[in-house]
Structure 1
């Protein structure tokens, strides 16, 4: 059978073997060609034990020390990929250009990390304006096969997060409100936040702070990139 690679669009020739024909397994179309498959393998590299930054050692990075000094509870974040090169291009095509099919390239791997956290899954929301522009929430697109809760509501904002300076992103404005419909579900529980990129940590730390103020005992997070 002939398929096309979701990343490079080259043809993938998949021979159907006799063993598969008698296995009674449903056909799973390949998503990547043999050249692109290695590109999406997570790197084996030391990470900051708090934010998941890829680095040369496993010591707490300077960003996390700054958050700790500001009095924020340490946030344990697991990142799958470093945010440069491939992941920047991937998120541009998926998130901003709207190639929704690309969610399939990382979906299973991200969902497995989230499920392994063993907590209530809470995706970081987008504003109504962002959803209207993009037609979907990029994080929710990765979580279609797991149960998650809309615990957070994104407040409207006048400037996109990626357009803000580092100093502006580190300010204490709370970009989220709690969803009153799920407050009872949060009491005394653990939450795993899910987002696309950990940059300064502002988004996830603000979400963590709000959830803690509304009865959540423990918050950790999983991001596609750091």
Structure 2
């Protein structure tokens, strides 16, 4: 009976104020966060991918293959995995989560991160978000990557350290730069929080971010952590850009 009452209450609230799809805005009759029509258009990354950056391969090549980009420019992080491809079907939902207060999507996105990052989550000592500069955080009021990191850490009972890294440069948005410009933009933009200098030596850290484009931001963060004595740095992101 104790479980029935809350369920009935939830159904009543959903009937009066139905939740809406986080992508198209249509009403949905449960709290899954996304409607079935939008769900079928999303492209989740579940097959063979680059062992380093997680770029999806069309064909399985066997073994731990690297994409051309990672062969040409090895990354500072050890491994990155993304839940889905960032494209016309997923971008509005992700932008809404990032800039339009659609934080109710956190639980759904956390489950997606958990699914794509299961290989590395078991060995994680610390889960931390890619940080925002304090000025941007004040303007936006929340760090979307920190929401995801907190949800993932709670789900897997891992230590969440939201301020492990600090963004010391108020960098411009990466979206306005070329590939080379993105790397320049985040160079020396991050430092390890001095409060955790003695906590990271020999630890396995997982970084959380929303979108992977060139990997420049994650690489800059991983470089700082590796110099601070971290044993391994993996990354789990909500979506990643592909060449298509």
The CA distance in 1 between the partners of 2:102 and 2:164, in whole Å, is 26
In the alignment, what sits opposite 2:21? 6
1:168 aligns with 2:181: yes
1:101 aligned counterpart, secondary structure = helix
2:199 aligned counterpart, secondary structure = helix
In the alignment, what sits opposite 1:209? 223
The CA distance in 2 between the partners of 1:73 and 1:93, in whole Å, is 30
> Relative to structure 2, which stretch is displaced further, 187-196 or 37-46?
37-46
Q: How many residues align?
A: 209
Equivalent in 96, 115, 134 of residue 99 of structure 2: 96
Task: Please give the per-residue CA displacement for 1:16-50, whole angstroms capped at 9, x wherever unaligned.
Answer: xxxxxxxxxxxxx4433333444457243432121
The verdict on how the C-alpha distance between 1:144 and 1:213 changes in structure 2, with shifts beyond 3 A counting, is closer
In the alignment, what sits opposite 1:48? 50
**What does residue range 24-43 of structure 1 map to in structure 2 within 5 Å?**
29-39=31-41, 42-43=44-45
The verdict on how the C-alpha distance between 1:209 and 1:11 changes in structure 2, with shifts beyond 3 A counting, is closer
> Relative to structure 2, which stretch is displaced further, 173-182 or 92-101?
92-101
Q: TM-score, normalised by structure 2?
A: 0.75
Q: TM-score, normalised by structure 1?
A: 0.81
8 Å CA contact retained: 1:96, 1:134? yes
What CA RMSD, in Å, does the superposition of the two structures yield over aligned residues?
A: 2.4
Q: Any gaps of 5 or more consecutive residues in structure 2?
A: 1-10
The verdict on how the C-alpha distance between 1:84 and 1:129 changes in structure 2, with shifts beyond 3 A counting, is same
Task: Using the TM superposition, give the Cα deviation of residue 170 of structure 1 relative to its aligned residue in structure 2, in angstroms.
Answer: 2.7
> Relative to structure 2, which stretch is displaced further, 126-135 or 53-62?
53-62
> Relative to structure 2, which stretch is displaced further, 43-52 or 147-156?
43-52
**What does residue range 1-226 of structure 1 map to in structure 2 within 5 Å?**
1=11, 2=15, 3-7=18-22, 8-13=24-29, 29-39=31-41, 42-57=44-59, 59-68=65-74, 72-73=75-76, 75-111=78-114, 113=117, 116-119=121-124, 120-145=126-151, 146=154, 147-149=159-161, 150-171=163-184, 173-226=187-240
The CA distance in 2 between the partners of 1:142 and 1:188, in whole Å, is 24
2:149 aligned counterpart, secondary structure = coil
Task: Using the TM superposition, give the Cα deviation of residue 204 of structure 1 relative to its aligned residue in structure 2, in angstroms.
Answer: 1.0
Q: Any gaps of 5 or more consecutive residues in structure 1?
A: 15-28
Task: Using the TM superposition, give the Cα deviation of residue 158 of structure 1 relative to its aligned residue in structure 2, in angstroms.
Answer: 4.5
The CA distance in 1 between the partners of 2:25 and 2:92, in whole Å, is 15
> Relative to structure 2, which stretch is displaced further, 91-100 or 102-111?
102-111
2:150 aligned counterpart, secondary structure = coil
8 Å CA contact retained: 1:127, 1:155? yes
